[in-house]
Amino acid sequence: MRLVTAVAGLSVIAACASTTGTASSPRRLVAHTSSGTVAGAHIGRDLQRFNAIPYAAPPTGTLRWQPPQPVQAWKGVKDGTRTAPRCPQNANPADSNPASTTEDCLYLNVTAPGAVPAGRRLPVMVWLHGGGFTQGAGGDYDARRLAEAGVVVVTVNYRLGIFGFLGHPALPGSGAFGLLDQQAALRWIRHNAAAFGGDPRNITLFGESAGAFSTCAQLTSPAAAGLFDKAIIQSGSCSMRQMGIDPAGGDTVWPSRQSGEQIAAAAAGQIGCTDAAQTMACLRRAPVAALLAAQQKIPATWAPSYGSDTLPLDPRRAVAEGRIHPVPLMVGTTAHEARYFVAMYFDGPGQPLSQQTYQQFLRTAFGKDAPRVAARYPVSTHASPSLAWAAIATDRGWTCPTRVGNRLLARKTPVYQYEFADRTAPRPAGFPVPAAFPLGAYHGGELPYLFDGPGAATDQPLSTSQRRLADQMIAHWTRFAATGDPNDPSLPRWKPLTSKSANHVRFLSSARSNGDGSTEHHCRFWDTRK
């Protein structure tokens, strides 16, 4: 039976008025927001959903590459049962991500219980999707299982790629439009959470991958002060390091504003916008398809850049200096983060790493230190050179920097650290990788334990033991959203991290263990190296 820890003793929401439906269609209901009335539908076990609610004006025409503007109030009842359009993005056959050329995309979706405690409001969880800052949508994530545990869940679209993170000296919000969209959504949610039974004073921001990096960025953005009360960061630490085989990429995953503007200039050149005085006018005239094609041709990371009012500091530096919003945090990684990327770029296309390529990667990434790294990660102890490199990239890039960053964060605020370690996690649906490649607890592997829908789709359903693990994780996530502490008498004890200790929880399919995992991931080895 599902653990429901956030709330009990439910009563009907007064903010929503139901209307009668037919036997073959869901009953419809309406919610009254500051922007207008929206119609939703009852789904599942006493849940309600409102889709495609605009939280900002369409970023089209002269509003392309401008901070988000307030949404214009509408008259009548807006249809909240349709699917919101995705923000502009290229298709990615590797994970079945569809393309979109629709700029009118700043929408959010709300999934909530159909009843709340009398005189009380439910915790609100705001999900920022992943996708490398270039793909994905809030509607890819069906949050009904989280909502069944007693929270209101909001999934958000934000501008992506060249539309979300273009940099130019003349642009207010340069390099951070996607972050500004997220902040606009949070402001809208603060004003309107009560319309869906939510508590506007109890908002948890959470996300995975690019959504986790976004959450990190908001944690250090002065403009995000007061917009959320807790945060959950899944596989996207503020302190993450580059995987190490691109010498020009530097160590940090966060581009500077100058770097972002150089990337944007290269993209403008692809389109033919070469007159410096007319660059922005030229880019605003460019069709969406042309901009997406230019984005595809630039071998660079489209991500939020620091050095602006929105993101003044590299978040890694901000964490080291304690310049964060001191809200309670849950932060974690998966045990085999980088296997997903090694599979996607090497083994999936039929080009697994050879022993020679592995040694070349070591020399490129670590120079004179390569023999020491090779001795710590000999191919003989892994099934292949690909898996040996995936272990290095996981430990050096994800797990160990995250734990260092968590100890820094713990100097300012409570931090609950975890690792998702189900080696048998269901593989992502449609992932073109040989079945023999062991993805293990891969990047994104925890998502099917929290969500349904395309963003968490797998090639097989959760097993009975995995379903129990999912119930436990959902209980921890929603309990944390309710109280800022994932602990509950019905759950195993989870101690908060301290600046010196390494307490964390490992989530496994058959058992759950406490420990620091430092030996398995060789964090003492990596902590002594830059």
Please, is 181 exposed, middle or buried when counting C-beta atoms within 10 Å of its C-beta (0-12, 13-18, 19+)?
Answer: buried
- Domain ranges for the chain: 1-215+254-313, 328-530
Per-residue confidence (pLDDT) for residue 250, from 0 to 100: 56
pLDDT in tens, 209-258: 999 999 999 999 999 999 999 999 999 999 998 765 654 445 678 889 99
Per-residue confidence (pLDDT) for residue 28, from 0 to 100: 61
Selecting among 35, 100, 174, 209, the annotated active-site residue is 209
Q: Which is more confidently placed, 31 or 528?
A: 31
Q: How far apart are the first and last CA of the chain?
A: 47
Quick one: what percent of the chain has pLDDT higher than 90? 75
Active site residue 209: yes
**What topology is assigned to 328-530 in CATH?**
Rossmann fold (3.40.50)
Per-residue confidence (pLDDT) for residue 133, from 0 to 100: 96
Per-residue confidence (pLDDT) for residue 276, from 0 to 100: 83
Per-residue confidence (pLDDT) for residue 259, from 0 to 100: 87
Quick one: what percent of the chain has pLDDT higher than 70? 89
Per-residue confidence (pLDDT) for residue 352, from 0 to 100: 95
Selecting among 129, 325, 443, 476, the annotated active-site residue is 443
H helix or E strand, kind and range, residue 122: strand 122-128
pLDDT above 60: residue 17: no
Cα distance between residue 38 and residue 45, in whole Å:
21
Mean pLDDT over each residue of the chain, to the nearest integer: 89
Residues 6+ apart with CB under 8 A from 103: 58, 59, 60, 64, 87, 88, 163, 288
Write a three-state SS string for 356-370: HHHHHHHHHHHHHHH
Per-residue confidence (pLDDT) for residue 11, from 0 to 100: 30
Per-residue confidence (pLDDT) for residue 12, from 0 to 100: 30
pLDDT in tens, 152-182: 999 999 999 999 999 998 888 899 999 999 9
pLDDT above 70: residue 525: yes
pLDDT in tens, 447-491: 999 999 999 999 999 999 999 999 999 999 999 999 999 998 888
User: What pLDDT band is residue 528 in, cutting at 50, 70 and 90?
Assistant: confident
Per-residue confidence (pLDDT) for residue 170, from 0 to 100: 82
Per-residue confidence (pLDDT) for residue 10, from 0 to 100: 32
CATH of segment(s) 1-215+254-313: 3.40.50.1820
pLDDT above 80: residue 5: no
- Residues 388, 339: contact at Cβ < 8 Å? no
Residue whose structure tokens are 């069709």: 287
Which amino acid, residue 157? N
User: For the residues 387-398, what does the mean pLDDT come to?
Assistant: 95
pLDDT above 50: residue 15: no
Distances (CA, A) of 381 to 122, 384, 387, 388, 389: 49, 9, 10, 8, 12
Distances (CA, A) of 72 to 51, 53, 158: 17, 12, 18
pLDDT in tens, 97-124: 899 999 999 999 999 998 776 778 999 9
pLDDT above 80: residue 23: no
Which amino acid, residue 508? L
Per-residue confidence (pLDDT) for residue 510, from 0 to 100: 62
Q: pTM of the predicted model, to two decimals?
A: 0.93
Helix/strand/coil for 529: coil
Cα distance between residue 375 and residue 522, in whole Å:
12
pLDDT above 90: residue 504: no
pLDDT in tens, 56-91: 999 999 999 999 999 999 999 999 999 999 999 999
CB atoms < 10 A from the CB of 171, how many? 18
185 has which bridge partners?
none
Selecting among 103, 208, 337, 446, the annotated active-site residue is 337
pLDDT above 90: residue 207: yes
Tokens of 10: 């439910």
pLDDT in tens, 393-427: 999 999 999 999 999 999 999 999 999 999 999 99
User: What pLDDT band is residue 6 in, cutting at 50, 70 and 90?
Assistant: very low
Cα distance between residue 95 and residue 456, in whole Å:
11
Nearest-CA neighbor of 441 among 402, 476, 394?
Answer: 394
- Is the fold of 1-215+254-313 the same as that of 328-530? yes
325: DSSP letter: -
pLDDT above 80: residue 202: yes
Per-residue confidence (pLDDT) for residue 431, from 0 to 100: 86
- Residues 304, 214: contact at Cβ < 8 Å? yes
Active site residue 208: no
Per-residue confidence (pLDDT) for residue 27, from 0 to 100: 52
Active site residue 336: no
Per-residue confidence (pLDDT) for residue 206, from 0 to 100: 98
